[in-house]
Structure 1
Amino acid sequence: MTRIISALSEVSANYDALFVDLWGCLHNGVHALPEAVAALQAYRRAGGVVILVTNSPRPRAGVEDQIRTQFGVPDDCWDAVATSGDSARVAMFTGVIGTKVWFMGDAERDAGFFDVPALLDDPLTIERVPLDEAEGIACCGPFDALADPDVNRPEFLLAKTRGLKLLCANPDIVVDRGEVREWCAGALARLYTEMGGESLYFGKPHPPIYDLARRRLAALGHEIPDRSILAIGDGIHTDVAGAMGEDLDSLFITGGLAATDTRTTGQPDPRALEDFLAREQRMPTFSMGHLR
């Protein structure tokens, strides 16, 4: 049974590091959430380390710039960032989907995805080509975030027939940008898999991004055991499932993607939360309405 708490400070002294989700937890796609910022600032003042672990397909530098300038997240509430985009880029530049790729996403916003990762000594040369010339698909997201993923069926049928692998740089299915729900790359990868194609995932809940987050901790000079790390986020299939798979304690933020299912108004309704977790077959260590 998950324990409903009212503030991070109730349990934070038991953990030396936090792996914190961004969208729906620290910001809502429009602006930073003040109570979440304050909670992380207080945690860091007490000596804790905060790694922001996000399923953004952007490289780390792009995410850092975005949360500072676009969302107003202050630097003093986090120590480092691990993105699914960085994990996926490393895989792409080592050839997991070939060297000629068809790109799905926002060409301007996701341009940094094709920057060579600094940690690779001998990266391959990646060429963006039309689908009928591609050896694989690099998917950062839909061309239209509001369009049903089914609009991609014709292209996916061709790709599946040709045996192309789809590299998914963001396993999230949806995000809420303010009051508007948008589709993410994970929805496209799910569709491609359902159609018989092969999708490769590099963000939460899959292991590569947690390995990257631990490397971010080590680069800061911290060797922290898993029992002293708390994963925080609003995705039951990403943040909570990933934490369970990595044997990490988790704090489920119910007022994000699952707000309706958990009847969260300030705090989740205990019975609705229990029913929701039973349906999803997930069990976070702790739950609360919003990070504070």
Structure 2
Amino acid sequence: MAGSFFISSIRSLAQHYDAMLCDAWGVIHNGVDLFPGVTDALRTFRKERGPVVILTNAPRPRRVIPPQLDRLGLPRDAYDGVVTSGDATRAAIRAHLPSPAFRLGPSKDEALFDGLDIQFAELEASGFMICTGLEDDQQESPDDYRSLLQRAAALKLPMVCANPDIVVNWGGRMIWCAGALAEIYEGLGGKVIYGGKPHAPIYDVACEMIDNIRPGISKSRILAVGDGLKTDIQGANNQGIDALYIAGAGGVHDGVADEAGVKAKLRAAGARVVAASEALLW
């Protein structure tokens, strides 16, 4: 990949920024393995430039993410904090209480509801629904839920979507996320409330965290790093934050072999970036 649009490392780019918002899945790891060079890139940015906040659309509270990163091998001195879609989603859930909720998602997302006084009910007895994902993302597809979503749309139940991601790359296999169900629901005329990327609530939380760590950093001095055009890059664009697109094969795409191909993908998505790279390296 040649040309100034592509960079082999963030070393020269980093001098223009004082904080980083870094996506997790697809940039730091693939759900199974940590990507080579990521630890050094994050550690060095923290040391030479400023705070690193991991910004993930995981539909769980931030406290559960560092132990997961520990298991993958990312040391805690590589980042300052974590903000999740789950953090931003909890406010949307509270706004719908005390109405009973229909829960759609796997048991592993139980931590999202800690401390929230929620009464779960059957679909027809609910005032809204909370979607954290497919109940079995290893075996099911979004189409398996179309009938259920049609019933919910007929009831005009708003959906709180805890993870706007459509898919993630899990060790080379694409896994469907809550955003795929939300996309179907919107197509059926249903109302969806999002907290995670690319929507504003998660960025409000993240920028507040950065300001608590180092006050006074403006959005013009923050770099967002991500592999999702509709989430990471569009979210940064919406916030006036510069973005670095990770275009390697470890993300939610097949990888692109040339600059023209990446630029075409960006144009098609209406996305703007300051640069692209195959991986997050220093």
Aligned residue in 2 for 1:245: 238
TM-score, reference length from structure 2: 0.94
Contact 2:14 2:49 (8 Å CA) reproduced: no
How far does residue 259 in structure 1 lie from its aligned partner after superposition?
A: 4.6
Contact 2:53 2:82 (8 Å CA) reproduced: yes
CA RMSD of aligned residues (A): 1.7
Contact 2:61 2:84 (8 Å CA) reproduced: yes
1:144 and 2:133 equivalent?
no
Contact 2:169 2:252 (8 Å CA) reproduced: no
How far does residue 261 in structure 1 lie from its aligned partner after superposition?
A: 5.5
Contact 1:16 1:224 (8 Å CA) reproduced: yes
Aligned residue in 1 for 2:259: 270
Contact 1:2 1:284 (8 Å CA) reproduced: no
State the distance in 2 between where 1:8 and 1:165 align.
41
Instruction: In structure 2, give the amino acid aligned to 1:45.
Output: K
How far does residue 207 in structure 1 lie from its aligned partner after superposition?
A: 0.4
Aligned residue in 2 for 1:288: 277
The equivalences for 1:1-292 within 5 A come to 3-69=5-71, 71-95=72-96, 99-107=99-107, 109-116=108-115, 125-146=117-138, 147-255=140-248, 256-257=250-251, 259-260=253-254, 262-263=256-257, 269-292=258-281
Instruction: In structure 2, give the amino acid aligned to 1:150.
Output: D
Contact 1:2 1:285 (8 Å CA) reproduced: no
How far does residue 47 in structure 1 lie from its aligned partner after superposition?
A: 4.0
How many residue pairs get matched? 277
Q: What do the CA deviations read for 1:61-120 (whole angstroms, capped 9, x no partner)?
A: 011221113x2211011001110101101221232x75311111111x11101113xxxx
State the distance in 2 between where 1:2 and 1:165 align.
45
State the distance in 1 between where 2:191 and 2:131 align.
13
State the distance in 1 between where 2:268 and 2:150 align.
32
State the distance in 2 between where 1:219 and 1:83 align.
17
State the distance in 2 between where 1:17 and 1:149 align.
36
Runs of 4+ in 1 over 3 A off after TM superposition: 256-259
In structure 2, stretches of 5+ residues that fail to align are: none
State the distance in 2 between where 1:75 and 1:35 align.
15
Cα distance change on mapping 1:36 and 1:149 into 2, 3 Å:
same
Cα distance change on mapping 1:258 and 1:139 into 2, 3 Å:
closer
- Mean Cα deviation higher: 73-82 or 274-283: 274-283
State the distance in 2 between where 1:288 and 1:234 align.
10
State the distance in 2 between where 1:258 and 1:271 align.
19
In structure 1, stretches of 5+ residues that fail to align are: 117-122, 264-268
Contact 1:28 1:178 (8 Å CA) reproduced: yes
State the distance in 1 between where 2:33 and 2:172 align.
12
Contact 2:15 2:49 (8 Å CA) reproduced: no
State the distance in 2 between where 1:98 and 1:273 align.
46
- Mean Cα deviation higher: 245-254 or 269-278: 269-278
How far does residue 258 in structure 1 lie from its aligned partner after superposition?
A: 5.5
Instruction: In structure 2, give the amino acid aligned to 1:11.
Output: L
Cα distance change on mapping 1:149 and 1:2 into 2, 3 Å:
farther
State the distance in 1 between where 2:242 and 2:147 align.
42
Cα distance change on mapping 1:175 and 1:39 into 2, 3 Å:
same
State the distance in 2 between where 1:53 and 1:78 align.
11
Instruction: In structure 2, give the amino acid aligned to 1:225.
Output: S
State the distance in 1 between where 2:279 and 2:162 align.
26
Instruction: In structure 2, give the amino acid aligned to 1:284.
Output: V
TM-score, reference length from structure 1: 0.90
Cα distance change on mapping 1:2 and 1:240 into 2, 3 Å:
farther
Secondary structure of 1:257's match?
Answer: coil
